[in-house]
């Protein structure tokens, strides 16, 4: 497993560079309260900017994390690794683990910037938003990764696009027709963001949803890993030489 | 008679301990004599300080050219899944024990429903907050790797090779306690206490017990991730549990009396780990 992870780091240099690049760019929006420091009048706007910065950063990472499967879409490699002591389980596990490692690197970065900023400017700590995004993205990848394992990255990308569009459509329908307090006015949305950042009390429904989310993410990821292990060899047969 | 390999290991230990204590104490001293412990510089330093043991371990590995071969950073799940579950359950058990011992010692009658109502939340709200905080602890365990890569991945295995397990558990905890001195003295650990010396001793005791549990989990699972999960879950879920006894805790001014239930709970979990977790590991290795 150690060797396979080392291989992922070596072959996935582009992914790592993309992760660091994204983090650096969005660090500016996350650190806006420190950079601008215009006083309490602008604090709600800076909260939204920081919130949006973290969300966008993780959404962009979601786009290129699945490309870690690209490197090993070769029949010869697939048959070789399945015959090794690691087996197809080790191969699939290294991919799943590497995806989590990429998100964890991003989370640690957001945590350090946010925590230092919270000390310097009393801005909220945006690392909680990072955690929420990791949980949601892990659930989305749990659906996507078995498709990538069985049918390759091209179809996996299509699945991800379809899933994302479905999620956006569902959210638009909910926000359009349901009377949700958070979208009634900009002030209501600011209050909702403050609740997510832990600055004020959450409703029971939100806290139950956030309580269940991490455990659901772990269980979904484990089930997805099992499914991918079962589908790996079949998927390998459709690879190029 | 110490053999050659033990001498080499002892040298590496000295380098690591010197580096980790320097990275911890030197910036704290500079801040103390320039801006003071109440300044924002100290708070910024306390955010970055937990990553110094990992930095010291990496530097020591670079200086001694030993590489990462004996590192236990990579998780091992096959046959070790139960230790990851234990890493989540043990902090919960520890905190429940702490409340039970505290209640038995200092409270006439403990009613869980009443206490949750005193907090101004519903039972469902309290339980969902608890699970939410455990979930945060589970996911944010990567933050604790900054310490565990130093203590459990480097210090403890090497100390065990040179001094054996019993001395390692005590001496290792003392090193971690000394590393924590800036946080204790600046009030980040126990708040502003008058008797700093007693606070340092208490911090060392807590470190000895906590690191003993982490060491047992690391040894059994062959990965520092379990130790990181244990520390993270106990750190993030303790507010939900300890909110049940805050009212009574505020009335206790004596530092050792305040933390005695915590020490007793940790000690019980250490005994459990040594007797059951360690024993299972030994039997598995013999088989």
Mean pLDDT by 10 residues, chain B (287 residues): 74 93 92 85 87 93 87 85 91 92 84 78 82 88 91 92 89 92 86 84 92 92 93 90 83 84 90 78 57
The torsion angles phi and psi of A8, rounded to 5 degrees, stand at: -60, -40
Residue A163 contacts B, CB cutoff 8 Å: no
How many domains does chain B contain in total?
1
Beta bridge partners of A240: A74
CA dist list (Å): A188 to A46, A128, A180, A182, B278: 15, 20, 10, 5, 53
Kindly provide the b/e burial profile for residues A17-51, where b requires at least 16 CB atoms within 10 angstroms of the residue's own CB.
ebbeebbeebbebbbbbbeeeeeeeebbebbbbbb
Q: How close, in Å, is residue A241 to chain B by CA atoms?
A: 31
Minimum CA–CA partner of A6 in chain B: B74
Whether residues B131 and A112 touch (CB distance < 8 A) is answered with no
Give contacts of B125 with chain A, Cβ < 8 Å: 204, 207
Per-residue pLDDT, B206: 92
- Asked if B135 and A104 come within 8 Å (Cβ–Cβ), the reply is no
Average pLDDT over every residue of A219-235: 92
Q: Which of A226, A220, A194 is nearest to A45 (CA)?
A: A194
More confident residue, B122 or A229: A229
B184, part of any domain: yes
Q: From CA A20, how far away is CA A15, in angstroms rounded?
A: 9
Position A9 scores a pLDDT of 83
Give every CB contact of residue B212 below 8 A, 6+ residues apart in sequence. Answer: B169, B173, B270, B273, B274
The pLDDT score that the predictor gives to residue A178 is 60
pLDDT at B149: 92
Report the candidate in B27, B124, B70 with the shortest Cα–Cα distance to residue A211: B124
- pLDDT value at residue A163: 80
Q: A135: which residues sit within 8 A by CB, 6+ positions away?
A: A213, A214, A216, A217, B135, B139
As a residue count, chain B comes to 287
Handedness of CA B214, B215, B216, B221 (dihedral sign): positive
Query: ipTM score here?
Result: 0.84
Chain A, residues 41-100, CB within 8 A of chain B, namely 93, 97
Does residue A27 have a pLDDT over 90? Answer: no
For residue A152, the distance in angstroms to the closest alpha carbon of chain B comes to: 26
| C-alpha span between A28 and A26 (Å, rounded) | 5
Average pLDDT of the segment spanning A76-102? 89
The residue written with tokens 């905190």 in the block is B95
Q: Do A204 and B76 touch (CB under 8 A)?
A: no
User: Distance (Å, rounded) from C-alpha B114 to C-alpha B119?
Assistant: 9
Give bridge partners of residue A74 from the DSSP assignment.
A240
Tokens, residue A94 = 């290294």
**CA–CA dist B103, B90 (Å, integer):** 20
**Whole-number percent of chain A with pLDDT over 70:** 78
Domain span holding position B232: 70-286
Instruction: Return the closest-CA partner of residue B72 out of B15, B145, B177, B123.
Output: B145
Query: Is B35 inside any structural domain?
Result: no
User: Does the pLDDT at position A183 exceed 70?
Assistant: no
CB B175 within 8 A of CB B206: no
Q: For chain A, what is the mean pLDDT?
A: 80
Distance in Å, alpha carbon of B34 to nearest chain A alpha carbon: 18
Angstrom distance (rounded) from CA A95 to CA B104: 49
Q: Which residues of chain A make contact with B129, given a CB cutoff of 8 A?
A: 207, 211
Chain A positions touching B188 (Cβ under 8 A) are none
From the list A2, A131, A135, the residue facing B74 with the nearest CB is: A2
Is 0.80 surpassed by the pTM of this model? yes
DSSP sequence for A38-56? --GGGHHHHHHHHHHHHHH
Nearest chain B residue to A106 by CA distance is B142
Interface test mutation site (partner A, options B49, B87, B140, max chain A beta carbons within 10 A): B140
> Which of B77, B80, B136 has the highest number of chain A CBs within 10 A, making it the mutation to test binding with A?
B136
**H or E segment and range at residue B194:** none
Indicate yes or no: CB of B128 within 8 angstroms of CB of A131: no
- Which of the residue ranges A99-108, A120-129, B224-233 has the most confident prediction, judged by mean pLDDT? B224-233
Q: Give B-chain residues touching A7 at CB under 8 angstroms.
A: none
* pLDDT at residue A159 in the model: 80
Q: Does A219 touch chain B (CB under 8 A)?
A: no
- Chain A partners within 8 Å of B44 (Cβ): 116, 119-120
CB pairs < 8 Å spanning A and B: 62
Task: Give me Rg for the CA atoms of chain A.
Answer: 20
Q: Where are the alpha helices (DSSP H) in chain B?
A: 4-33, 40-48, 52-64, 81-106, 112-118, 123-139, 145-150, 156-163, 165-179, 181-185, 196-221, 225-242, 246-251, 255-272, 278-286
- What is the per-residue pLDDT across B272-282, written as a single tens digit (0 to 9) for each? 888 887 665 55
pLDDT of B188 reads 81
| Domain membership flag for residue B176 | yes
Q: Is any Cβ of chain B less than 8 angstroms from the Cβ of A207?
A: yes
Looking at residue B93, its pLDDT comes to 93
Let me know: does B138 contact A214? Beta carbons within 8 Å: yes
Cβ atoms within 10 Å of A106's Cβ, excluding its own: 22
Cα nearest neighbour of A86 on chain B: B78
For B50, the closest chain A residue by CA position comes to A112
Question: Which residue among A1, A215, A218 sits closest to B74, beta carbon to beta carbon?
Answer: A1
Q: What is the pLDDT of residue A193?
A: 65
Contact across the interface for A207 and B128, Cβ inside 8 Å: yes
Q: Predicted confidence band at A41 (pLDDT cuts at 50, 70, 90)?
A: low
Read off the DSSP letter of residue A240: B
Hey, are the CB atoms on B135 and A211 less than 8 Å from each other? yes
Least confident interval from A79-83, A232-236, B112-116 = B112-116
Q: What is the dihedral of CA B106, B111, B117, B122, to 10 degrees?
A: 130
Q: Which long-range CB contacts under 8 A does B110-115 form with residues at least 24 apart?
A: B112/B244, B115/B244, B115/B245
**Which has more confidence, A218 or B129?**
A218
In a domain, residue B101? The reply is: yes
């Amino acid at each position: 497993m150690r060797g396979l992870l080392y291989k992922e780091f070596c072959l996935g240099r582009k992914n790592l560079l993309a992760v660091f690049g994204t983090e650096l760019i969005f660090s500016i929006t996350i650190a806006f309260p420190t950079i601008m420091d215009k006083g309490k009048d602008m604090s709600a706007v800076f909260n939204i900017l920081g919130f949006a910065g973290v969300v966008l950063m993780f959404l962009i990472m979601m786009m290129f994390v699945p490309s870690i499967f690209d490197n090993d879409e070769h029949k010869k490699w697939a048959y070789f690794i399945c015959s090794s002591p690691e087996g197809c389980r080790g191969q699939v596990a290294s991919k799943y683990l590497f995806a989590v490692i990429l998100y964890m690197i991003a989370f640690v970065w957001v945590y350090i910037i946010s925590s230092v900023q919270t000390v310097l400017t009393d801005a909220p700590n945006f690392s909680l938003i990072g955690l929420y995004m990791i949980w949601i993205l892990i659930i989305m990848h749990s659906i996507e990764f078995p498709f990538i394992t069985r049918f390759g990255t091209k179809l996996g990308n299509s699945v991800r696009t379809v899933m994302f569009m479905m999620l956006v459509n569902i959210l638009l329908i909910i926000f359009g027709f349901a009377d949700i307090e958070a979208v009634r006015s900009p002030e209501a949305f600011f209050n909702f963001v403050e609740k997510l950042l832990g600055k004020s009390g959450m409703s029971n429904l939100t806290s139950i949803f956030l309580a269940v989310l991490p455990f659901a993410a772990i269980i979904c990821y484990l089930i997805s890993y099992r499914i991918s292990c079962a589908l790996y060899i079949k998927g390998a047969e459709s690879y190029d030489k | 008679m110490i053999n050659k390999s033990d001498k080499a290991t002892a040298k590496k230990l000295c380098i690591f301990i010197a580096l980790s204590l320097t990275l911890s104490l030197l910036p704290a001293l500079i801040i103390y004599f320039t801006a003071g412990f109440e300044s924002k510089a100290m708070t910024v330093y306390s955010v970055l300080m937990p990553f110094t043991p990992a930095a010291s371990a990496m530097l020591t590995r670079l200086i001694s050219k030993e590489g990462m071969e004996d590192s236990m950073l990579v998780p091992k799940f096959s046959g070790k899944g139960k230790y990851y579950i234990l890493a989540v359950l043990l902090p919960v058990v520890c905190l429940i024990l702490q409340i039970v011992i505290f209640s038995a010692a200092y409270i006439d009658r403990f009613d869980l429903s009443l206490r949750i109502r005193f907090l101004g939340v519903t039972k469902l709200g309290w339980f969902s907050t608890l699970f939410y905080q455990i979930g945060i602890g589970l996911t944010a365990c990567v933050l604790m790797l900054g310490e565990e890569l130093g203590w459990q991945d480097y210090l403890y295995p090497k100390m065990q090779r040179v001094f054996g397990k019993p001395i390692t558990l005590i001496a290792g905890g003392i090193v971690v306690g000394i590393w924590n001195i800036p946080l204790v003295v600046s009030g980040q650990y126990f708040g502003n206490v008058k008797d700093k010396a007693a606070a340092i001793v208490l911090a060392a005791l807590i470190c000895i017990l906590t690191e003993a549990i982490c060491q047992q989990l690391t040894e059994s699972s062959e990965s520092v991730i379990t130790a990181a999960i244990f520390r993270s879950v106990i750190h993030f879920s303790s507010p939900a549990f300890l909110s049940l006894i805050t009212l009574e805790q505020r009335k206790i001014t004596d530092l050792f009396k305040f933390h005695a239930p915590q020490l007793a709970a940790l000690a019980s979990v250490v005994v459990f780990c040594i007797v059951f977790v360690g024993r299972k590991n030994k039997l598995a290795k013999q088989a």
